[in-house]
Amino acid sequence: MSKIVSLCKRRGFVFQSSEIYGGLKSCYDYGPLGAELKRNIAAEWWRSMVYERDNIVGLDASIMMHPQVWQTSGHLSGFSDPLVDCLNCKERFRADKAPRAEPGSSVNYVAGGKSGGAKLSAPVTDKGYVCPQCGAPTLSDERQFNLMFRTSLGPVDPLTEVARELDGKALPAAKIREMLEDAARKSVTYLRPETAQSMFVQFLNVQQSMSMKVPFGIAQVGKSFRNEIVTEHFIFRSCEFEQMEMEFFCEPGTQKEWMTYWRDERMAWYHRYANDKNAFRLRAHENDELAHYSDECYDVEYMYPWGWGELEGIASRTDYDLSRHAAESGVKLSYFDQQKTDPATGKPGWRYVPYVIEPAAGLTRSVLCFLIDAYAEETGVDAEGEGKTRVLLKLHPRLAPYKAAILPLVKKDGQPEMAMELVKEFRRLGINVSYDDKQSIGKRYSRHDEIGTPYCLTIDNDSVKDGTLTLRDRDTAKQVRLPVAEAVAAVKARLDAGM
Q: Give the interface with ligand GAP as residue ranges (CB under 6 A).
A: 194, 196, 226, 228, 237-238, 241, 243, 245, 310-313, 358, 360-362, 364-365
Quote the least distance from Cβ 363 to ligand GAP, whole Å. 8
CA distance 369 to 312: 11
* Paired strand residues for 470: 458, 481
Q: In angstroms, what is the minimal distance from the CB of 310 to ligand GAP?
A: 5
Cis bond before residue 103 (omega within 30° of 0): no
Q: Closer to ligand GAP at the Cβ: 44 or 358? A: 358
If the CB atoms of residues 63 and 464 are measured against ligand GAP, the closer one turns out to be: 63
Q: What are phi and psi of 116, to 5 degrees?
A: 95, -10
Residues 6+ apart with CB under 8 A from 414: 464
DSSP characters over 323-355:
HHHHHHH-----EEEEEEEPTTT--EEEEEPPE
One-letter amino acid at 141 equals D
224 or 434, CB closer to ligand GAP?
224
> Minimum Å distance from CB 311 to ligand GAP?
6
List all residues 6 or more positions away from 498 whose beta carbon is below 8 Å from its beta carbon.
Answer: 272
If the CB atoms of residues 3 and 283 are measured against ligand GAP, the closer one turns out to be: 283
**Other beta carbons within 10 Å of 147:** 16
- Find out whether 273 and 44 touch, Cβ atoms under 8 Å: yes
Residue 196 or 418: the one with the smaller Cβ distance to ligand GAP is 196
CB of residue 390 vs ligand GAP: minimum separation in angstroms? 31
**Among residues 82 and 313, whose Cβ is nearest to ligand GAP?**
313
| Nearest to ligand GAP of 223, 340 (CB atom) | 223
Question: Judged by CB, which is closer to ligand GAP: 91, or 245?
Answer: 245
Task: Give 337's strand partners.
Answer: 350
* Nearest alpha-carbon partner for 232 in 146, 149, 309: 309
- Closest approach, Cβ 259 to ligand GAP, in A, equals 15
In the complex, what is the shortest distance from the CB of residue 194 to ligand GAP, in angstroms, rounded to a whole number?
Answer: 4
Q: Where are the beta strands (DSSP E) in 353-403?
A: 355-362, 375-381, 387-393
Q: Measured from the CB of residue 366, what is the shortest distance to ligand GAP in angstroms?
A: 7
The one-letter amino acid code at 324 reads R
* Nearer residue to ligand GAP within complex by CB, 372 or 441: 372
Q: Is 407 helix (H, G, I), strand (E, B) or coil?
A: strand
Q: How far is the CB of 280 from ligand GAP (least distance, A)?
A: 13
User: Closest distance between ligand GAP and the C-beta of residue 169, in Å?
Assistant: 40
Phi, psi of 339 (to 5 degrees): -75, -15
Nearer to ligand GAP, 76 or 451 (CB): 76
Q: How far is the CB of 364 from ligand GAP (least distance, A)?
A: 5
**Which residue sits closest to ligand GAP, CB atoms considered?**
362
Strand ordering across the sheet containing 404-408 = 433-435, 404-408, 455-459, 468-473, 479-483
In whole angstroms, give the CA distance from residue 356 to residue 218: 11
Q: What is the dihedral of CA 381, 275, 449, 378, to 10 degrees?
A: -20
